Structure 1
Amino acid sequence: MKNEMESVPLYKTASGRSSWQSENKSDLVEEVICEKFASEFIDCGTPPAEDAPAAYCTLEQPPTIRITEELCHTSIKMHLLEHMASMSSRCHLLNEIEDKDIVQENLEEVYKGATTPEINVSFLWAAFTRRWDLLEGLIRLGADLNYSEPNHGLAALHLASFSGCIPGTQFLVSQGCDVNAVFKSYAPLHCAAFGDSPDTAMVLLNNGADIHALTNAPYNCRESVLHCAVRANAIACVRLFIHEGADVGQVEYSGVSPIHLAADLGHIECLKALLEARGANVNAKTAETEQTALHLSAVNGDEECVELLLEKGADANAKNHMSQTPLHLAARVKSYECVQLLLEKGNASPNVEDRDKRTPLHTAVGKTAISADIIRELINYGANMNKKDQYGYTPLHVGALNGLSQCVDILIMEGADVTIKSKCGLTPLGVIKHKIPASLETIREKFDSSITLYQHPQSSNNEVDLRLDFKCILQQCRPREMSYLNTFVDEGQKEFLMHPLCSAFLYLKWQKIRRYYAIRMFFCFVFVLSLSLYILTALARNCYNYDTNNGDDVIELCEKQSMMGHMLRANPFAVEMQWFVLVGITCFEILRKIYGLAGYSTVWQYFSYPENILEWLVIVSVFVISFVYTGRTYVWQNHVGAFAVLFGWTNLMLMIGQLPAFGNYVAMYTSVLREFAKLLLAYSCLLIGFAISFCIIFPESASFGNPFISLITVLVMMSGELSLDIVVDEDTDDPPYELEFSAQVTFTLFVLFVTVILMNLLVGIAVDDIQGLQKSAGLSKLVRQTKLISHIELALFNGYVPQYFLNLLHWTALVSPKAYKVVLKVKPMNHRETRLPRDVMEAAHAIARKNKLAEKSASNASLDEKRDLNLSTSLWRLQSNIEKRDEQIETLRTEIRQLRGTFDMYQKTVEKLISAVLVREEEQLLGA
């Protein structure tokens, strides 16, 4: 890399050599690297942030305690063979001992001339293979009683105890072998436990073996004999050691007791024996991870151990170092049986939070089919579907972010809130719209299921009740009942407002909230009217300066014969009274606007609404046009006042346009206004060109005296106000106009390009927009109604009003003042029913009838469906068990492959040794 970089000339000098400049060296290196290893991606801004933190891609898996190494027959045999081969000894001696080709009678003959290592290893092998009859003869040949193999430090007594050879164990003990010897890792009693040899263990105990001896192995450090027996699933040894006084609460270096180990390994019989022992603590925790035995059984999905532990009094709400309960772990590994046991028998709380504030319902969301059953089970036991974690994500967020449509559909149908926001402002509805659009139909089905029909059994006229349950709309919205529907508008799902359930709720909400909007409009009208009267009298008519005799240049407009002028001349203080009344109303408007700031999340959002900008401009203008500063008014204040009045009445028009009855008309106007502004901007150069051309061609015309007046005249001519007087001279006695031809050509081009083409284009665009607005008039009305009610509601319930006023608002502005009253009952077949619009009731009635027919069809096939459901549930559980077994089988396959590789290696080593021995024997024969 370095050589390649140095070979690239960076700067050329006159001599053709490359030279470095120290201040630019780092920049040049970066340029060379970028050119040498260029990326194929285009630099185009920064990518958007991830929807969810990486913690949700793979949740942290709690550690288990299975990383261990235990003694087994195969591993000991391999270690002894390897040890024999490493010393270049005769390995066939071991095979002959195992095959009983070597007996007491030929022992000395076979081992004549044998080396000491061969005798010692053979001694170990005889003890291991239960050839206790050879032990005494090998001792006479020089075998060391305390010789041990190098891997685990196993001597003859260890191996005899492991193999369950009672005569061999008794013989070695009688020869003086230490029953508590630990040459490296294990004592003989540990080996008896690993070998599931209770008889040899009893021999050792009777000869003084320490029942509390601890291991010294690198993996199983400071484990008791009970630990070793549990690892080997040696139930007989477990019972023996418990009977002999072994401590069932003894912990090894990481704080794991035999009970933890049995629960983690799934050894149910060992666990049962340990729990029945005196002093057993079923709720003891490990030192490092603070996990109980119930945690370990739950994370392995072992329902038998979970049930046993619960029967013995295990705490189902105990927390580990991550504040997770066993229910968290069982839900994570998708063990339906364990979840069910923990909820039913353990009374586990489904709403306990872990360290990241996640509940078991968060961890239950997954890709497997059994996740659906677990989610339903948790919800049936009261799990909060809208619980947020530390990032603000609910279980529905998790399912939507991972594209888990099945879990998302279940949560929606069970009532999860699709509009709840995370800390970064992300809603499940927004995620579903992009990642699982098919689940949007589930939201509609949820709305449909909230509309039902109920027929009175004793009704004589077949009267039916239509019941609309607004629970899904009001569940997380008190006291701001519009936040749910407002989120649908913000996320671009406006079509849901057309659903009868949403339309009915909007209608009821508007009936409640419209009185407050009417009060707001009334005060706005009084404010604008007061401003207009003040400007008309004090500024436009100059009456204030007339009354105070300020200056000689007073325009005598106030002296004209009129009722207003007469009144103002008779009462000079009237203008001042108007001003003070206007100031009082303005102060009230200022307080109202400041109070209304609480209805917006940001200042930018507040000023993104034109009516807010207009209102503040009008409020500021009130203080600008006052006479209190100098005692008189000025002409420049008339300019400000004129625009203030225009802005005030325009804002009042926008407020009227927010009313559902007049919204379409104002929407049409604003739409045409936007299109005209775009069109005017696009063709502004053409209009400016015509305006300047007319200034040049008609220099003596007052209408084109300067470019600005000329542009205004051109805009007037656009509307069709055309006059030929400027191009046709009616006085024939005057000399001919020098630019007459150019004037006629320019005027003709203006008529064609602007008056005909441009204006017709504008009319066509306006007509098209109006037709589009008329087609979506109903939806647009609901959208405007939703936004209007939402802003009013946010302003009313911002928390800065007295409590008594809040109580009044609850009863006058809320559809459901009491949280439990969320169902509206109407009679759709009764013509006197006026609580809902007729079209909304008819649409809701149609949906309810469809649901009724679906229920009847479902009831007719209920038995088949139940059978299919039970079958599918059984299949899901079977599939889950198969997946668990597949994982275990794969683990065993990996271990078998490793053992096979080790066997192959040892086989090659043995073959090489045999070849070497044969070659040596041939050489000896040839030498002889």
Structure 2
Amino acid sequence: MAILLCTRRDTRTNIPSYIGNLIHSMKSLLRKKCTPLQHRINPDTRFQMLLRAVQARSVRGVGGQLAAGLPVNHRDPALGNKTPLICAAEYGFTEAVIKLLDAGANVSLADATGATPLHMAAGGGHVSTVTHLLDYGAHVNHLDAHKSTPLHYAARADLQESDCGKVVKVVEVLVAAGSRCNLKDGEGRLPLHNAAMAGTAALLRVLTTGKNKATINLQDNEGHTPLHCAVIGARSLLAVEELLKLGVNIDTRDTHGNTALHLASGRHINHVDEEFDGNCLELLLRHGASVAVHTEDGNNALSLALRRTMWWGRPGSRDHILHAVHQLVAKGSKIQDGFAMWRMVESFPSLVPAALNRSFIANTSSRDSPHLHLDLDFSPLLVSSKRLQMFHRQSPLLPQSELPPPLLQDSELAMLQYILWEGRKQLLLHPLCHSFLHLKWLKVRKYFLANVMFYLLFVLSLTGFLLFSENCPVGTPTTESSVNASTNGIQSDNSTSTCMWVGAQSNMVRLTWWCLVTFNVLLDIREVVQFLQNPLIYFFNLGNLLDATLVFCVPQLLVVSGSEGNVNCCLAAWQQQVGAVCVILGWVRFMLFMGQFPSCGVYIVMFSTVARNVLKFLAMYVFVLIAFALAFYVLLRGLPAFHSVLISLISSLVMMTGELNYEETFLSGSPDYSLGLTLVLLVVFIVLVYIILSNLLVGLAVSDMQAIRQRSEVLRLTRHVGMMAQIEALFRSPLVPGQLQHILLHSIAIIDKNKSPYITINPNHSNGLADSLFLLMVSTLGGRRVFVKLFEAVVSGFIPPEPQPAIPRKMVACIVDVALREHEMDKWEKRLQSRAMQGLPSSQPRSILHTTQIPPPPSPTLLTRCPSLPRIMAGGGRASWVRSFLLDTDWEDEASDMIHSNLHNCQSYNSYPSHLRPVIQQDPSARLEEMRIQIVNLQATMGTLLHTIQQQHTHPYMGHTSSTQSQPFSSVPEQTPLLLPTQQHLV
């Protein structure tokens, strides 16, 4: 062990040289007579007695031990080679320090760690002891084994808040004695770093002033500035504010890419100080901390704050994180990945639209510029199940939020499926989600159209076979024949019972029969694959149930029966009934397919919603129909319309539509003894059922239509997500070969995993004739290289254009509105911050100068997102016009989740009621501040103008000096200050 301790290993050398170095080290060890580690040594009894005397602050006891023979410079190895002077200085026993120094104690003798008495006295905040040690010649810049000076010890003193003044006094004494504030310790830290970590604001001012002042932005070995240390220490908010006033770089990144904002927002859950973190986050944002900076892991401050939402165990942590997320989103932080999107949708759904607006990036604020291009960042909608599981495993505590099943799928639609699973359908109306769905539809629609065409051919084959086939005569016995013989009319060796189709339509029957067999087999294969993929979800889909019914019923039609004599093939009575059911289900299923087209979806949604509500209504009031049906059956069971209970119920339902047949049924067919009661029941039935219930049904249908029109876009997008997820899940089936599965999934993918998740569009870019022809041919026929060569041969200097994403114009207009508003807001905040920074010394607070002309805000509709956030106000160099939000994040109303000012011009929001539309409000306090600044500037300008006019009036008398030439306008007693009406109102 001793050999290894004395040997220095060089990893860059090879094995022979390493062995040679080892032998050399062993020889040198023997020469130095290195011995193994000895057993623990007991401390000297006299030194222990002296230590007790120091602790008891007994000068007589210290002198007694010295008189007993204890050397004044004794170094006890059991206590780290401490001397009596070091112990006395550590406890701040000034009288004992003086006595030991007078007795000849060495003031510079250090212990095993290299700490001198001055180190210990400074670290304890003992002012008088430090003063006497300096008077006796203590070296003020002595370095210990860790390269720390006494000033480092004093700066990191962990004392009570009432004792901070002592530490400041010690630092002032050391600095006055020549201590250098810019010396680094072994970790590359200045005393300023230690003071920031300890949270002593007054000490920071002392260390950053004077001749040897510390560098405010110096980074240690880990890249931490004093601001990083102040945030990590979480001791005092005043220390953070003091560093910001001194001009520290607020966005400096450490070796891991963390800024002070990252440290405040993403502090470990076990070490969080909610009050400090909330106020510190607010303070950093108010002083211009960037929310767009990412760590080395690619996380921004919002993602780090959202990680805490996975653990709500601590009391009050929910409110703290809610406050932090509100501030970050209000300052323009964006959702950067699927993890942050998941936590936002689950915890803060009302903030999701505002955070998603930052996914639209414009390069200019000019709407009509031909160079305008927009970047659409689809990162929030792309989920990596491996990344989510990694975050889940790295949790410091047992997470209370399990990973949702939709997010565990490696699919581009996983996040949209989770949004529906969470019940936040209105988020699909956001332009980012809407455009993503549209682009996904353009990729998927070719397979959907193929599916629709396949089903159309299947329904046409079924319909043609039933139309061209003949029914067997009523009362004629039928015999079943083999499929091959019944179709082709050929005698079979295995069966003596054959039939054949006769007549002019026999060829059509054979053709439709074979087509029906082919499409039915393909339909069976498709349904088996879907069932094996997810049996539980299969039976909860109406379309799948219709397909399963057709798969069971259609083969019964293919086994054709023959009439008596085995000559003519026909459909038996039971096959006629099965065929009637199949043709209805087939065309209804095809209608549902058509409803998934964007232009037809709203009508199918209206039909299905009204049908569902009517069935619920009838299920509620069916007992009234049963009651009248039983009454009519008892009184009129002799009539055909009421001869059984079931027929009586159906007749009552028909009577509900107005088909009463009053004279024939109730007057002529009713017995005389019950005629009066029958008519009374009929009148009651007309009032209760025909008038009241029928009108209720009509009113319900009309009200549903209005509600559906308002929610039609949401319902259509919901159906689109389900349809595209079903197609993608079909491609991921284990029954699909691996190579084919990869090709199919790649053909419907919007974003390549190896490329950037950004899509760029140029709203104002128009192609010429050659470009349009080129793009048309490429999109229809493919073969880009061939067409490039062709156009280069025809058109000189032809540059092939890049195809743009096919996004509808209305959607592009909505995206442009959102992107330009965010761009204008960023420009406005940067402008205010830069104006606030101009010409201010580092010792003065960074506030907006009254003499600085502030440009007007871009638009009143762009300014605030909620007046209930007074924490983001003017001051600290930040914008006084800010964006804020509605604080309630637990709304259950779907429409309320999407109230957002940036979408009020979108078509999907114009249908909202007026009380649900976005309300754009201004921050009244900020607006008054802006008006006051503008009025002061205007008054100063008018004062200068009046002063010039007065000089012109006194110009003929050059010999006389006017009083107005030597005094400012505000000090002229004859002049009355000009007050505008608005200023008078403010005063």
Change (3 A) 1:475 1:507: closer
Tell me by how many angstroms 1:455 deviates.
Answer: 6.0
Alignment of 1:361-380 (within 5 A): 366-368=278-280, 369-372=282-285, 376-377=289-290, 379-380=292-293
The residue aligned with 1:282 is 187
Aligned pair partner of 2:334 in 396, 399, 416: 416
In 2, are the aligned partners of 1:454 and 1:464 still within 8 Å (CA)? no
Which residues in structure 2 correspond to 1:470-489 (within 5 Å)?
470-471=376-377, 476-477=382-383, 480-482=411-413
- Residues 58-69 of structure 1 correspond to what in structure 2 (within 5 A)? none
**Paired amino acid for 2:348:** I
Which one of the candidate residues 815, 839, 845 is aligned to 2:810?
839
1:231 aligned partner: 124
| Aligned residues of 2:196 and 2:233 also touching (Cα < 8 A) | yes
Pick one of 643, 651, 654 that aligns with 2:592.
654
CA–CA separation in structure 2 for the residues paired with 1:332 and 1:623: 79
Over 3 Å counting, the alpha-carbon distance change for 1:327 and 1:679 in structure 2 is same
Asked if the contact 1:816–1:822 (Cα under 8 Å) also holds between the matched residues in 2, the reply is: no
What do residues 681-729 of structure 1 show as CA deviations (whole Å, max 9, x unaligned)? 2221110111112211222223222111211222222223332354367
Q: Aligned in 2, Cα 1:243/1:783: closer, same or farther, shift over 3 Å?
A: closer
Give the direction of change, closer, same or farther, for the CA distance of 1:484–1:646 in structure 2 (3 Å limit). same
SS at 1:380's partner residue? coil
Tell me what 1:663 maps to. Answer: 601
User: What CA distance in whole angstroms lies between the structure 1 residues aligned with 2:192 and 2:471?
Assistant: 87
State the match for 1:745 in structure 2.
680
Partner of 2:444 in structure 1?
Answer: 513
Inter-CA distance 847–229: structure 2 relative to 1 (3 Å threshold): closer
Q: Which of 693, 697, 703 is residue 768 of structure 1 equivalent to?
A: 703
Is residue 725 of structure 2 the alignment partner of residue 802 of structure 1? no
Cα deviation for residue 403 of structure 1 reads 5.8
Matches within 5 A, 1:466-545: 466-471=372-377, 476-477=382-383, 480-482=411-413, 497-498=428-429, 503-526=434-457, 545=480
Rg (Cα) greater in structure: 1
Is this contact kept in 1: 2:461–2:515, CA < 8 A?
Answer: no
> 1:381: Cα distance to partner?
5.4
* 1:191 and 2:191 matched: no
Change (3 A) 1:693 1:614: same
1:582 is the counterpart of 2:582: no
**Which residue is equivalent to 2:543?**
611
Encode CA deviations 1:734-770: one digit per residue, 9 max, x unaligned.
x974433333333343333323332222122212222
CA distance in 1, matches of 2:539, 2:304: 33
In structure 2, the CA distance between the partners of 1:560 and 1:332, relative to structure 1 (3 Å rule), is farther
Equivalent pair of 1:698/1:704 in contact (CA under 8 Å): yes
> For residue 763 of structure 2, what is the aligned residue in structure 1?
826
Deviations 1:434-476 (A, max 9, x none): xxx5x567447647x64565669xxxxx763553331166564
> Per the alignment, in what secondary structure is the counterpart of residue 156 of structure 2?
helix
Alpha-carbon RMSD: 6.4
Alignment map for 1:675-690 (pairs within 5 Å): 675-690=613-628
Q: Does 1:756 align with 2:756?
A: no
* Distance across 2 between alignment mates of 1:357 and 1:516: 48
1:826-860 CA distance string (max 9 Å, x none):
22899999954343445455666767877887798
Note if contact 1:157-1:177 (Cα within 8 Å) is conserved in structure 2: no
| Structure 1 counterpart of 2:524, one-letter code | T
How far does residue 824 in structure 1 lie from its aligned partner after superposition? 1.1
> In the TM superposition, what is the alpha-carbon distance from 1:274 to its structure 2 partner?
12
> In 2, distance between residues paired with 1:663 and 1:467?
32
Distance 1:776 1:202, change over 3 A: same
Is residue 691 of structure 1 aligned with residue 629 of structure 2?
yes
Picking from 800, 806, 814, the partner of 2:750 is: 814
Alpha-carbon offset, residue 384 of structure 1: 0.8
Q: Distance in 1 between matches of 2:522 and 2:651?
A: 42
Q: Is the 8 A contact 2:426 2:714 kept in 1?
A: yes
Distance 1:660 1:346 in 2: 50
Which residue number corresponds to residue 24 of structure 1?
none
Structure 2 Cα separation of the partners of residues 646 and 737 of structure 1? 44
Aligned residue type for 1:469: D
1:315 aligned partner: 222
**SS across alignment from 2:289:** helix
CA distance change for structure 1 residues 651 and 712 in 2, over 3 Å: closer, same or farther?
A: same
Does structure 1 residue 329 correspond to structure 2 residue 222? Answer: no
Contact 1:372 1:406 in 2 (8 A): no
Contact 1:718 1:754 in 2 (8 A): yes
- Name the counterpart of 2:645: 707
Q: What is the DSSP-based 3-state SS (H/G/I as helix, E as strand, rest coil) of the residue aligned with 2:222? A: coil
Change (3 A) 1:175 1:837: closer
Query: Which segment drifts farther, 516-525 or 406-415?
Result: 406-415
Query: Aligned with 2:599: secondary structure?
Result: coil
Report the secondary structure of 1:350's partner residue.
coil
Partner residue of 1:385 out of 285, 296, 300:
300
Larger CA deviation: 866-875 vs 522-531: 866-875
Residue by residue over 1:167-225, the C-alpha shift from the partner in whole angstroms, topping out at 9 and shown as x without a partner, is: xx9xx95685664599x9997421145246876554556589985499xxxxxxx9998
Secondary structure of 1:470's partner? strand
1:500/1:784 CA distance change after superposition, 3 Å: same
Helix, strand or coil at the partner of 1:282: coil
Measured against aligned partners, the alpha-carbon deviations of 1:381-406 in whole angstroms (never above 9, x if no partner) come to 54612887799547999997536446
Distance 1:268 1:623 in 2: 96
Please give the alpha-carbon distance, in whole angstroms, between the structure 2 residues aligned to 1:151 and 1:637.
111
1:300 is matched with 198
Q: 1:259 to 1:575 in 2, by over 3 A?
A: same
Corresponding residue SS for 2:55:
coil
- Partner of 2:334, secondary structure, is coil
> 2-side partners of 1:808 and 1:477: how far apart?
20
Is the alpha carbon distance of 1:147 and 1:199 closer, same or farther for their aligned partners in structure 2, counting shifts above 3 Å?
closer
Which consecutive residues of structure 1, in runs of 5 or more, have no partner in the other structure?
A: 1-145, 161-168, 215-221, 252-256, 285-291, 319-324, 457-461, 598-602, 879-928
Task: Summarize the alignment of residues 623-638 of structure 1 with structure 2, pairs less than 5 Å apart.
Answer: none
* Cα pair 2:156 2:194 within 8 Å, conserved: yes
SS, match of residue 373 in structure 2: strand
Residue pairs, 1:887-902, within 5 angstroms: none
Cα distance in structure 2, aligned partners of 1:394 and 1:813: 31
Distance in 2 separating the partners of 1:825 and 1:791? 32
Question: Could you tell me whether the CA contact under 8 Å between 2:188 and 2:221 is conserved in 1?
Answer: yes
Deviation at 1:654, TM superposition (A): 2.3
Contact 1:310 1:346 (8 Å CA) reproduced:
no
Contact 1:386–1:417, Cα closer than 8 Å, also in 2:
no
**Once the 2 structures are TM-superposed, how far is the Cα of residue 227 of structure 1 from its aligned partner?**
4.0
Give the TM-score taking structure 2 as reference length.
0.52
Residue identity in the other structure for 2:847: L
Amino acid at match of 1:870: R
Q: In structure 2, do the counterparts of structure 1 residues 786 and 728 end up closer, same or farther at CA, with 3 Å as the change threshold?
A: closer
CA distances 1:785-832 after superposition (whole Å, capped 9, x unpaired): 455445545665789873675466445541678425422112289999
Q: Report if aligned partners of 2:50, 2:62 keep a CA contact under 8 Å in 1.
A: no
Q: How far apart, in 1, do the equivalents of 2:693 and 2:684 lie?
A: 12
Gaps of 5+ in 2: 1-48, 159-166, 385-409, 487-494, 561-570, 773-803, 849-872, 879-987
Q: What percent identity do the matched residue pairs reach?
A: 19
| SS class of match (1:464) | coil
Letter paired with 2:55: H
Cα pair distance change 1:707/1:154, threshold 3 Å: same
TM-score, normalized by length of structure 1?
0.55
Aligned to 1:428: 344
Answer yes or no: is 1:350 the counterpart of 2:268: no
Distance 1:804 1:455, change over 3 A: farther
Judge conservation of contact 2:513–2:558 (CA < 8 Å) in 1: no
